[in-house]
A and B are shown apart, each in its own frame.
Chain A
Amino acid sequence: MGLAKRIIPCLDVDQGRVVKGVQFGDIRDAGDPVEVSRRYNKDGADEITFLDITASHENRATTYETVSRMASEVFIPLTVGGGVRNTDNIRDLLLSGADKVSINTAAVFEPEFVKRAADKFGSQCIVVAIDAKQVELNRWEIFTHGGRKSTGLDAVEWAIQMVEFGAGEILLTSMDRDGTRDGFDLGVTRAVADAVTVPVIASGGVGNLDHLVAGIIEGHAQAVLAASIFHFGRYTIAEAKACMHTAGIEVRL
């Protein structure tokens, strides 16, 4: 009995609507983010992640407003990411009601930004998102721009460095698996989870509930994130928790 493993539905939000792409193409509409998060909150989600996938400058006001509406109704932790480039962005998101912010591309271009952010706001609210792609056996590299640009950085070494710089959590997405429904890349999940001292959220590729179980048991993740299996009603959060519980994983029921 102790700390529960977490299930985190992820809302990819484009111009105020929840969408879900398959490997960053072919976008399907999945509803209003406030409605969707209210449903997940009620169904027992442990946290919610909101990714502003366009994150254009003119879109920021919509994002802050949506986050604020979500935070007024949803009393579980809310992580917001997408286009977080400076400490002003972080401050504005936290003031809007985000509990944590997720930094992705900006960390790659300027790792010191993570340090500044953690010093200013505390590690507990700084999540570093890592988009990893397998390049050879047991080696994964960091990609930016939705998986289009390689950086040559080793994913495991990068994760370790980000934790040294103050990341309080790692959101690890396999670009090879994202949108495929083939399950998490358990290799990279385990490699990163075993290498860092902070919690790791497995992401990318969930197609059924056994994949969530595998992310925890084989991937050693502390939390599992999924989008489309929940958005399109294939499974409820409660079903996911029941499945994990049956597999011997401690969850909040």
Chain B
Amino acid sequence: MTQQIAVIDYGSGNLHSVAKALERAGNCKVQVSGDPDAIRQANRVILPGVGAMGDCMAGLKHRGLDELVLDLIGRVPLMGVCVGMQILTEFGEESSGVKALGVFSGQITAFPKCMVAVDDSALKVPHMGWNQVQKNAHPMWSGIADATRFYFVHSYRYADSEADCVVGVCNYGAPFAAALAREGVFAVQFHPEKSHQAGLELYANFLTWDGTC
């Protein structure tokens, strides 16, 4: 069955890439839209996000889409990407404090300054590039090897890598959450649409995921 995917457009980021990657990943029809009615008609929804968490949250609220996202949870499978994952948590310390949607407990904080690698070299922020994800059991990881590399670019992260909702862990200076999940929601800090084959596989899994953990 052709999946009807809505990529929520609230004025953030590179939606073109997300849509193209989904279309490449499998049989689906993608609509990039900020229209609540159009989004409600989809049987799967992507919440993307690029840039500052405060701007993303404001953009979502301005269009009245914050309520819609909360309403979709449990009705259709929802996938958050990058800042789209971050705004599903409770709070972000970026832009002098951002109250977020609270779908997941926990908050988003900055990478500490002056982190060092095992060889004592300084770790740069943003955390930019291909890093490995240790996966916890979840159907969305089907067919993806443990320690697969995905493309990250971010300066803030979900630091509590041992929280119950964490289903993927990355390490940069210290462990942090690469993926969060609960019933009906799977969210990643990295960019599947920029993660070559591994990212396309993850999107392909999303197209068939039934929403269970």
Residues of A within 8 A of B (CB): 1-6, 41, 46, 68, 71-72, 75-77, 94-99, 121-125, 168-169, 194, 197-200, 220, 222-223, 252
Segment of B61-69, B72-80, B120-128, B178-186 engaged in the interface with chain A = B120-128
Give the complex CA separation of A50 and B159 in angstroms: 34
Give the complex CA separation of A195 and B154 in angstroms: 20
Of B126, B152, B172, B194, which one neighbours A99 at CB under 8 angstroms? B194
Q: Give 6 pairs: A residue, B residue, CB < 8 Å, sorted on A.
A: A2-B118, A2-B132, A3-B131, A75-B21, A96-B16, A197-B113
Which chain A residues lie closer than 8 Å to B194 at the CB level?
A: 75-77, 99
Query: Does B92 touch A at the CB level, under 8 Å?
Result: no
Which chain A residues lie closer than 8 Å to B122 at the CB level?
A: 194, 197
Q: Are B132 and A124 in contact (CB under 8 A)?
A: no
Query: B31-56 vs A: 1/0 string, CB under 8 Å?
Result: 00000000000000000001110010
Which chain A residues lie closer than 8 Å to B24 at the CB level?
A: 75
Q: Are A199 and B14 in contact (CB under 8 A)?
A: no
Q: Are B124 and A199 in contact (CB under 8 A)?
A: yes
What's the nearest-Cβ distance from chain B to residue A234, in Å?
A: 24
Query: B69-99 vs A: 1/0 string, CB under 8 Å?
Result: 0000000000000000000000000000000
Q: Are A123 and B149 in contact (CB under 8 A)?
A: no
- Ranked nearest first, the 5 interchain pairs of A and B with the lowest CB-CB distance are A122-B51, A252-B130, A4-B130, A199-B124, A3-B131
Give the complex CA separation of A95 and B19 in angstroms: 12
What's the nearest-Cβ distance from chain B to residue A83, in Å?
A: 20
Which residues 101-157 in B have Cβ within 8 Å of A in the complex? 113, 117-118, 121-132, 147, 149, 151-155
Given contacts A4-B149, A76-B194, 7 further A-B contacts (CB under 8 A): A1-B171, A97-B20, A99-B153, A194-B122, A197-B125, A199-B126, A223-B129
Q: Are A123 and B131 in contact (CB under 8 A)?
A: no
Which chain B residues lie closer than 8 Å to A123 at the CB level?
A: 126, 155
Of B113, B128, B171, B195, which one neighbours A169 at CB under 8 angstroms? B128
What's the nearest-Cβ distance from chain A to residue B88, in Å?
A: 18
Give the complex CA separation of A125 and B82 in angstroms: 14
Q: Are A71 and B126 in contact (CB under 8 A)?
A: no
Of B50, B130, B155, which one neighbours A46 at CB under 8 angstroms? B130
Q: Are A1 and B200 in contact (CB under 8 A)?
A: no
Q: A75-B196, A122-B52 are in contact. Are A3 and B130 (CB under 8 A)?
A: yes
Which chain A residues lie closer than 8 Å to B128 at the CB level?
A: 124, 168-169, 199, 222
Q: A124-B154, A197-B113 are in contact. Are A99 and B16 (CB under 8 A)?
A: no
Which chain B residues lie closer than 8 Å to A72 at the CB level?
A: 16, 20
Which chain A residues lie closer than 8 Å to B55 at the CB level?
A: 122
Q: A99-B14, A168-B128 are in contact. Are A124 and B172 (CB under 8 A)?
A: no
Q: Are B121 and A97 in contact (CB under 8 A)?
A: no
Give the complex CA separation of A143 and B147 in angstroms: 42
Which chain A residues lie closer than 8 Å to B126 at the CB level?
A: 123-124, 168-169, 198-199
Which chain B residues lie closer than 8 Å to A252 at the CB level?
A: 130, 149
Q: Which of B51, B55, B155 has the most CB of A within 10 A?
A: B51
Of B125, B191, B199, which one neighbours A198 at CB under 8 angstroms? B125
Which chain B residues lie closer than 8 Å to A97 at the CB level?
A: 14, 16-17, 20
